[in-house]
């Protein structure tokens, strides 16, 4: 597995990481824990060294899963987790809003360290920007944790460009995590140029469009009510049917490259910048192997031009997230 550095930092990780959220939450009932432990350990054997989780996934149980799975590999892998939601520690439920008060950040760090079974959190993201807390205070709290040796690197998830600059001035930001794929190209306007200017790495989540870009969905695909995709406007029946043109584009390129649509979607992301590290998630071993195979696919300048020219003629129908969730992004 090729390695990449996240921006100007000394955090070097595999070119593709593994998003672990779907093993415990948001895509229907949780997967079998021991099967997921085995899957994560297989990913390590395949060369993956960046694993992404968060306290809110579950809540709490995904961090526990990742901690158990990676306990034998201390010092060999990097674990990213996140703070910023108001969670009830007793009931393990979300109470509602955001909470990035410095004292809360520090309490979350202590709890995450225990669940992850580590001495330091490799990459600690603010999960969503909290409008009630100045980003300088957030960065200052993480700076304190870094000084104490409890955190190694600071990250932001779904921030606006101005927020990145303000945070970075207090504590250098190692990585920004936001949605980015051929299905959603919003970061290209302001985020990517800002990261390039500041020397910050980029970790696209949902790099396969919540499974859409794999080519496994069709116009008849429907989602269970426990699957968050049942509430995503761009995956509603009419929008999904219209958006399949994007998958057809990927399928055409994949046939020429002896690859799959998912592999082309990931290879396209890897080709955008050398400091981009996508984190596709899966609960299936054959999908893990398929995704990791994308790192070996070289898209030429002509390939990229063909993809971009064809994609520019398509307009994705429907918002990428429900409106209530979108209101918490881009702060």
Instruction: Identify the burial level of 305 via C-beta atoms within 10 angstroms of its C-beta, where 0-12 means exposed, 13-18 middle and 19 or more buried.
Output: exposed
Q: How far apart are CA 118 and CA 112, in angstroms?
A: 9
List strand residue ranges (DSSP E) for the chain, in order.
Answer: 3-5, 12-14, 18-19, 50-52, 78-83, 85-88, 93-98, 123-126, 154-157, 173-179, 201-205
DSSP 8-state code for residue 293: G
Q: How far apart are CA 42 and CA 40, in angstroms?
A: 5
Active site residue 57: yes
83 with 100: CB under 8 angstroms?
yes
Find the catalytic residue in 27, 57, 125, 180.
Answer: 57
User: Catalytic site residues?
Assistant: 57
């Amino acid at each position: 597995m090729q390695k990449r550095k996240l921006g100007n930092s000394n955090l070097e990780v595999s070119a593709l990481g593994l998003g672990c959220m779907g093993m415990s939450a948001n895509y229907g009932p949780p997967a079998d824990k021991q099967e997921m432990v085995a899957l994560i350990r297989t990913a390590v054997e395949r060369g993956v060294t960046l694993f992404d989780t968060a306290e809110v996934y579950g809540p709490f149980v995904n961090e526990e899963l990742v901690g158990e799975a990676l306990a034998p590999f201390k010092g060999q892998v990097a674990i990213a987790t996140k703070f910023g939601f108001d969670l009830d520690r007793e009931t393990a439920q979300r109470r509602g809003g955001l909470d990035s008060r410095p004292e809360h950040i520090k309490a979350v760090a202590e709890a995450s360290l225990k669940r992850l079974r580590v001495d330091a959190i490799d990459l600690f993201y603010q999960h969503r920007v909290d409008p009630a807390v100045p980003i300088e205070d957030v960065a200052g709290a993480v700076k304190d944790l870094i000084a104490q040796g409890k955190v190694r690197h600071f990250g932001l998830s779904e921030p606006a460009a101005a927020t990145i600059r303000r945070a970075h001035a207090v504590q250098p930001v190692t990585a920004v995590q936001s949605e980015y794929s051929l299905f959603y190209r919003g970061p290209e306007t302001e985020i990517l140029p800002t990261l390039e200017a500041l020397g910050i790495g980029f970790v696209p989540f949902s790099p396969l469009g919540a499974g859409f870009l794999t080519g496994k969905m069709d116009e008849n695909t429907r989602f269970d009510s426990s699957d968050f995709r049942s509430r995503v406007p761009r995956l509603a029946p009419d929008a999904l049917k219209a958006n399949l043109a994007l998958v057809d584009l990927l399928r055409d390129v994949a046939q020429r490259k002896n690859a799959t649509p998912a592999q082309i979607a990931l290879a396209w992301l890897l080709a955008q910048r050398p400091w981009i590290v996508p984190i596709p998630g899966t609960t299936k071993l054959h999908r893990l192997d398929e995704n990791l195979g994308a790192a070996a696919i070289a898209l030429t300048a002509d390939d990229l031009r063909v993809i971009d020219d064809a994609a520019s003629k398509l307009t994705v129908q429907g918002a990428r997230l429900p409106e209530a969730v979108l209101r918490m992004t881009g702060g």
